Chain A
Amino acid sequence: MPNISSWKDWLLFGAIFAVLMFAAPAALSDFRLNLLGKFLALAILALGIDLIWGYTGMLSLGHGVFFGIGGYCMAMYLKLQVGAAGTYQTDLPDFMTWNGLTELPWFWKPMHHFSIAMLSAILAPALCATLLGLLTFRSRVQGVYFAIITQALALVASLLLIGQQPYTGGTNGITDYKAILGFDLADNSVQKGLYIATVLALGVSYVFCRWIVRSRLGKVLGAIRDAENRLRFLGYDPVGFKVFVFAISGALAGLAGALFVPQVGIISPSNVGIVPSIEMVIWVAVGGRGTLSGAILGTVLVNAARSGFSEQFPAFWLYFLGSLFISVVLFFPDGVIGALRYARDGFEKLARRKRSAVAEFEEVI
Chain B
Amino acid sequence: MSAQTVMEQYAPLFMPKTIAVVGASTKGTALPNVFIRRIREFGFTGTIYPIHPTASTIDGLPAFPNLGATPQPVDYAYIAVSAAQVPDILTVAAGRVRFAQVVSSGFGEVDEGKDLQQRLLNAARAGGMRLLGPNCLGIYTPRGRITFTEISPTEVGHVGVISQSGGLGTDIIRRGLSRGVKFSGLVTVGNCADIAPSDLLEFYLADAQTKVIGFYIETAKDGRRLFEMLRAAKAQKPVVILKGGRTGQGLAAAASHTGSLAGDERAWIALSRQTGCVLVDTLDQFIDTLLIFQTLTPQPQHPTKRVVLFGNGGGTSVLATDYFARLGLDVLPFEKPALDALAALKLPPGTSITNPVDCPVSTLQQDNGRVAEKILDEIYAKGRPEALVIHLNMSAFAGRTPPEVLDNVLQAALRVQTHYPGQAHFVLVLRSDGDPQLEARKRIFRDTAVGLGIPVYDEMSNAGQALAALQAHERFLHTRGS
A binds B: no
Which residues of A approach B to under 8 Å, CB–CB? none
Binding site for A on B (CB under 8 A): none
